[in-house]
Amino acid sequence: MSGLLTAGQLGSSDVETLFDLADSFLEVSSRRMPKVPALKGKTVVSLFFEDSTRTRLSFETAAKRLSADVMTFPVASSSVNKGESVRDTIETVDAMGIDALVVRHRCAGVPHQIAGWTSASVINAGDGAHEHPTQALLDAFTMRQHFGSVAGLRVAIVGDVRHSRVARSNVALLASLGAEITLVAPSTLLPATLDGWPVTVSTSLDEVLGVVDVVYLLRMQTERMREHLVPSLREYRMRFGLTSERAALMKPGAVIMHPGPMNRGVEIGGEVAELPNALVVDQVRNGVAVRMAVLFWLLGSGGHQTDQPSELAEVDREGAADV
Q: Which residues, listed in sequence order, are joined to residue 158 by a DSSP beta bridge?
A: 184, 217
Options 64, 104, 237, 291, the catalytic residue: 104
**Three-state SS at 57:** helix
**Given 57, 80, 108, 312, the residue binding other proteins (CB under 8 A):** 108
* 222 binding other proteins? (CB under 8 A): no
Largest CA distance in the chain: 59
Contact segment (CB under 8 A) with other proteins among 107-115, 143-151, 198-206, 302-310 equals 107-115
Site string for other proteins, 120-139 (x = CB under 8 A): -------xxxxx--------
**Given 27, 51, 206, 227, the residue binding other proteins (CB under 8 A):** 227
Q: Measuring CA to CA, how many Å separate 155 from each of 182, 212, 214?
A: 6, 6, 5
Active site residue 54: yes
Residue type, 39: L
Contact segment (CB under 8 A) with other proteins among 36-44, 193-201, 214-222, 290-298 equals 193-201
Q: Measuring CA to CA, how many Å separate 230 from each of 100, 163, 209, 319?
A: 40, 13, 21, 52
* Residue 191 or 319 with smaller CB distance to other proteins: 191
**Given 94, 147, 191, 282, the residue binding other proteins (CB under 8 A):** 191
Q: Which residues contact 30 (CB under 8 A, 6 or more apart)?
A: none
* Residue 72 or 113 with smaller CB distance to other proteins: 113
Report CA Rg, the chain: 20
Length of the chain: 323
Size of the site for other proteins (CB under 8 A): 24
* Residue 116 or 252 with smaller CB distance to other proteins: 116
* 193 binding other proteins? (CB under 8 A): yes
* Residue 163 or 237 with smaller CB distance to other proteins: 163
* 35 binding other proteins? (CB under 8 A): no
Chain positions 277 to 296 lying near other proteins, rule: CB under 8 A, are: none
Residue 220 CB neighbour total at 10 angstroms: 24
**Given 11, 27, 31, 87, the residue binding other proteins (CB under 8 A):** 87
* Residue 196 or 252 with smaller CB distance to other proteins: 196
Burial (CB < 10 A; 0-12, 13-18, 19+), residue 56, is middle
Angle ∠(307,174,256) on CA atoms, nearest 5: 110
Question: Which uninterrupted H or E stretch holds 46?
Answer: strand 43-48
**Given 32, 53, 76, 195, the residue binding other proteins (CB under 8 A):** 195
Q: Which residues contact 203 (CB under 8 A, 6 or more apart)?
A: 184, 185, 186, 187
* Residue 37 or 259 with smaller CB distance to other proteins: 259
**Given 15, 22, 110, 242, the residue binding other proteins (CB under 8 A):** 110
CB 55 within 8 A of CB 19: no
DSSP state, residue 35: -
Active site residue 104: yes
Site string for other proteins, 158-187 (x = CB under 8 A): -------x--x-------------------
Active site residue 132: yes
Q: Measuring CA to CA, how many Å separate 233 from each of 20, 228, 236, 269?
A: 41, 12, 5, 13
Residue type, 191: P
Residues that bind other proteins (CB under 8 A): 85-87, 105, 107-110, 112-113, 127-131, 165, 168, 191-196, 227
Active-site positions? 54-55, 82, 104, 132
